[in-house]
Structure 1
Amino acid sequence: MTSSLTIKNESPYRKYTRNPREDLYPGDPPYGEPLTIIDRDGCILYENHDGGLLNAIIMGDDVEFLERYFTIAPWAVPSIPAPSDKDELLEYDDYFQLAAWRGALDVLKMLLTHATKDMDPTQPIRFRPRQYEILHEAAKWGNIEVVQFLLNNQPLYADIHEQDYDGLTPILSAADVYSRGDIYSSSWEEVGLPKHEAMMNLLLDWGACASDVFNAKWNEKRTIDTVLHMAVEWAGPKLIKRLIDSGADIHAKVTKDSWTLGFFDLGVDDVSDVNALCVACLHGNPRAVRTLIDCRGDEVDAVDMICSRDSHGDIPLHWATRHRLRDGVAYVSAPVLEKTIQALTEVIEILLEIDPSIINTQDNDGNTPLHYVATGAGGEGKLYSPIIKILCNEGANAGIRNKKGETPLHNFLSNRSHEHPFDTDAMATLLAHGAKVTDADEKGDTPLHIVVMDLRQLDAVSFLLQRGANPATRNSNFETCFHAAALGGVFRIKSLDRSATEKTNVQEKMLSKLVEVGGPALMDLPNAEGKSARQICQERRKHWKDQEDRSWLDRNGWGRGHAPWNRTIKL
């Protein structure tokens, strides 16, 4: 058994004890003699082709080893970019940026000392040609000691008001926490949140501007973010109040890219008139939501604030119900998921306490908050189902249609992006609050038409059939649900791993369930193009078989442009 002492004392460079030349394949280009260095335990370490050992030394803030490395390879000492308006492209990792990112303060000091020894000691050191600044990098990742060092050495290494290549000031970089997914870490509340709030407070102590804005490089009149918009995604009440007291405009509005937000239903359209309250709701931060409402000012009514609309006609409640786990449920622990849903529930309750009548507000597309939460809930199993129940219990009408004629049940059954089966309890809740199994959208599709397209969802189909869904109902293209099932797929993340036979078996089970209720004659009913479900089914299965055959050929070297069995072709 390996002792804890052995693990503690094991070299962090153990993976570099193998000579990379031993891993060359026949035909690989020649590899010169690698740089070697003796580890503290006497083992020989080898540098690899991409500088992995040097990267490890820098990330470990190992000044002693870095000095030895540079003594052996003085050519490896990184240079400072010359002042220029032109971009500088590096063929290797930028070690200054790496040190700032990892919080390797001692290594960063050493790198700066080596790189500037022949320079004018008063010349400001900037990295704009490499599209970053070290203060911004360190602030972004919450490395307080590095930031403190750089601030103490203004203006030599940094300027607290300076914009980086992208147009961000250090406090904007520090506020941009959510994009890295840290908030979904199990240690976020104990470690991440205090660290990033301390960073923001440090910058404010040094005079950073709480009202800084981030404008689009291609359009300086378009404001994408403010410090407050970024901070309310994750920060607590004390920091948010300090930002507001320091000049952040609580009612400032920005323009967001719909794809960045995850609002894919809007296509390429931007969303403007977005206030900080909308952003706090989207990210499920109830403490920020309550703080913003409390700090709105005497001249603004709370009801008016929560009823303010963006350019798409959405109010903050719409934004709350558009909440998505950006990194995917599969990568987030169960306790964090539970806290996320609890926080989102609290946001919704805060808004509805102020004005319950907003529950069925429709936006420019006719969608209510229930439409949006149903869209996300359908692909997440039971995760978002409590939110559906809360909205319905508060008066949400599941029978309201959007401009496409869809009820929330249509939206719920349209999400095929995950492996989870649809939650029939949530479906029952929607049916109990206004949705009907016979509701048809503008194309004439009923919920049954939609759900059978995902051949895995046999339980959901059985549920609808038991509640009166009619398999014989035709849409505007004269298609029954049999046609939809015949054209359906086995939607899942690893669907290509299923063989044609497996897909056929899944489809056969779905069609058998429909025949059991609707009768076999519906298999031969023609659609507007004159095709029956049986014909479409045969074409679909042939497609699966052809697809499988092509995949086999590609894997075994028989695909287009490949010679069979041989790695190299000699002409």
Structure 2
Amino acid sequence: MILNDLKRKKMRQRNPQLREIDIELLEAAQAGKFDKVKYLHRVKGADIHARDLGRGVLVEAAKRGNNEVINYVMQSKFYHPELTIKDIASWALNAAIYEGKIRSAELLVKYYKVPAESNAFRAANEKGYIDLYRAMIEVNREVNKEEQNKLEFYLLMEAMDCNQEDIIKLLVNDLKVGVTIQTFENYINEMSPEIIKVILDNGFDINSKLTKENFFPIPDYQYSILHKVLSSNKLIDLAEYVINKGADLNSQDSEGNTPLHILMKNNEIDIDKRLELANLLIEKGVNVNAQNNKGDTPLHVLVRCKEISYPDKKKVAEFLIIDCNAEVDIFNKLGSTPYSMCPASSLSNDIIEAFLIVYERKLEEEERLKETQDNNPKAKNIEELDTNCGEENIAKIAEEPSYKATFVDRVEANSTRQGFFPRKELLGNYISDKQIASCNTK
């Protein structure tokens, strides 16, 4: 009794405007006594919106999960000079969620259409009330349309900040909350591949450029999503998905680099993945000889990259030159070719070997085609004539003992054929200036 008297005394001191009957009403609400609340309000005239420390009858009922009192208050016609019923009910909703009174929260949201504030969403998220979270979004869309877009944007930012994948999936995949380019580029490094797929599957433009234009002083790289995933070891497994989704394979960033350029300078991925993705890009139509703003082709970029090991660089270079017809004698703006940029190592030898294999093979096929086409006039290429005559892949030809001619012998032999004009930049390490001049005048 003494405790109750002290409690009432403090309540009066905090709220001089409260009458004794109002204090009694608040105590009944705190105790969950529905019949007494109803009696004091209807019979004794207690103020249904009386509050102490910001908490009124509705908030106290929500905190304790007293749904009878919630129903009674929500259905009562009452007026507050400063607050609307929705304001008071929003506070009650927060209280119910924080106290774990899920049924009371659902009653306020689903039945009374109480709009939720950001704090309510945060609390529902923390407690794992995903169904309630969804219901709050849907109600807010119905009764609070003007502010809903801002709220949903805020909720998405918050979910991405905390890497809450279930909420991101709910917002983007189920509730179709849109993701802006700025949002995507700010969080792509923190997103899991699964979340990126969810965003791309829900209408995000696969060829959007990640400009960073609103976030000075970060440079405007003009990366496409494909550029980004090919530059990141964490996201590299998304590359095939993005390619098959319809990404522009020849899109250029602000430095003129295509996705193949980016792949060639990513030193974090292993050789098998690099070859697999390079093959996929080329099969899908990437320009293997595209030049960036410096005039570099992907082969230039590969040769320059010091972080890639020699064995791996050799395999990729052979693949690009032999299998993909990458040119080794394209000049960049500094006047360098991929071959002339090679360090003084056997890599130079490997690249020129690959070039000669391709060139000689091409001439041999042309001659064989010409010789046999009279007997088979419908044939259009050498594969139709003899299916490569049973020979092994040309990448293995150079390993055969019968093919171990010296570079000089092979260059001199080829120089008599029309269309082959060796350049100093390409063969200077192997033959003399006199031999080069001789070849170029034949």
TM-score normalized with structure 1 length: 0.32
Between structures 1 and 2, the one with greater helix share: 2
Largest Rg, 1 or 2:
2
> TM-score, normalised to structure 2's length?
0.40
